[in-house]
Chains A and B, each alone.
Chain A
Amino acid sequence: QVQLVESGGDLVKPGGSLRLSCAASGFSFSDYYMTWIRQAPGKGLEWVSYISDSGTTIYYADSVKGRFTISRDNAQKSLYLQMNSLRAEDTAVYYCARPNNWFDPWGQGTLVTVSS
């Protein structure tokens, strides 16, 4: 079945960096755009970034532009999010999801905590 599994979440100090990964299975990963969405504790959902199937088209939310970099490895069926200059407000569960205008499926999420 279609499955997305995130990893890489951790506790990091403000200003630090972290790389999240999302492993895909059960579908032809290279045929699909992919996206990251986050959810701060007790808060709503915020779309973070989006990458096309080939990796040539990329979008970021203004809140992460210039600090986060999305990438993918189609041979490894993996999606990545490099997060630099992390701030307390980046604390959230980060989900990868397969977008087709709507988001389905979603991974289980990985928690990023930015705190000193």
Chain B
Amino acid sequence: DIQMTQSPSSVAASVGDRVTVTCRASQGISSWLAWYQQKPGKAPKLLIYAASSLQSGVPSRFSGSGSGTDFTLTISSLQPEDFATYYCQQAKSFPYTFGQGTKLEIK
């Protein structure tokens, strides 16, 4: 199975900050990577797919980059509604696997 490792596990930031979350795959996955946002008590929401494509309706302050084994999710200017947990997911091969999550908290 492909292991996905996110860092950091949690981060505290302020409104207006630029935040970057990293996801590393245990083997190359080309651009077969997605990012999700999950708020407490809610289902995850797709933000980014194919490593860098923004899902329809997602604000442009979210962006994704990377290929192969190393990927990043960047939020250019944090808004209050962005405080949530973020997960990466590989779609290169079954079983599809998720990172352990990065909790973005208010500083």
Contact = CB atoms under 8 A, between A and B. Distances in A.
Contacts of B98: 44-47
Contacts, number: 50
Contacts of A62: 95
Interface in A45-59: 45-47, 50, 59
B44 A103 contact: yes
**A interface, by DSSP: helix, strand, loop or mixed?**
strand
Q: Across the A-B interface, give the 5 residue pairs with the lowest CB-CB distance, nearest first.
A: A101-B91, A106-B43, A102-B34, A104-B46, A45-B98
**B interface, by DSSP: helix, strand, loop or mixed?**
loop
6 contacts: A44-B100, A45-B98, A59-B95, A95-B44, A108-B42, A109-B43
Nearest to A4: B43
Nearest to A109: B43
Interface in B62-107: 87, 89, 91, 94-101
